[in-house]
């Protein structure tokens, strides 16, 4: 079983809608969670990270973490065509002092005007 599972999509939403991206993980010892955005042909760029259960908001982005259910999600409000990209979920396990991250395969998001 992969450490991190994501629906590969593609997920398609209209401009202005809320895009919901989900990620589940297998190791309950996972401690920190990261969302990266990757445009086609570009490198991943960090959007948000979350460590504690609950919601964390940054502008139009909200990360949600539920450790009991072992899932983390990213909500994008007022989606824009410029949000069209692949979104990567990553996690760091408890006790990992070397910063090793485990990545999901990514979910492709398309926002149509």
Residues that bind another protein (CB under 8 A): 32, 34, 36, 42-46, 49, 51, 88, 90, 96-101, 103-106
Least distance CB 108 / another protein (angstroms): 11
- Name the minimum Å distance from CB 99 to another protein: 4
**Residue 19 or 36: which CB sits closer to another protein?**
36
**Nearest approach, Cβ of residue 42 and another protein (Å):** 8
In this structure, the strands spanning 107-112 and 11-14 are: parallel
| Closer residue to another protein (CB): 43 or 113 | 43
- Nearest Cα neighbor of 72 from 2, 17, 20, 9 is 20
Question: Across the chain, where does the E strand assignment appear?
Answer: 4-6, 11-14, 19-25, 30-38, 45-50, 54-58, 61-66, 71-76, 85-93, 102-103, 107-112
């Amino acid at each position: 079983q992969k450490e991190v599972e994501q629906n590969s999509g593609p997920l398609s939403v209209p401009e202005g809608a809320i895009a919901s991206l989900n990620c589940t993980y297998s190791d309950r010892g996972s401690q920190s969670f990261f969302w990266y955005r990757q445009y086609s042909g570009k490198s991943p760029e960090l959007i948000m990270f979350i460590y504690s259960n609950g919601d964390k908001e940054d502008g139009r982005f909200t990360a949600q973490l539920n450790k009991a259910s072992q899932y983390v999600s990213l909500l994008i409000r007022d989606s824009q065509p410029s949000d069209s990209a692949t979104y990567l979920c990553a996690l760091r396990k408890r006790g990992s002092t070397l910063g090793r991250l485990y990545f999901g395969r990514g979910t492709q998001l398309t926002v149509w005007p």
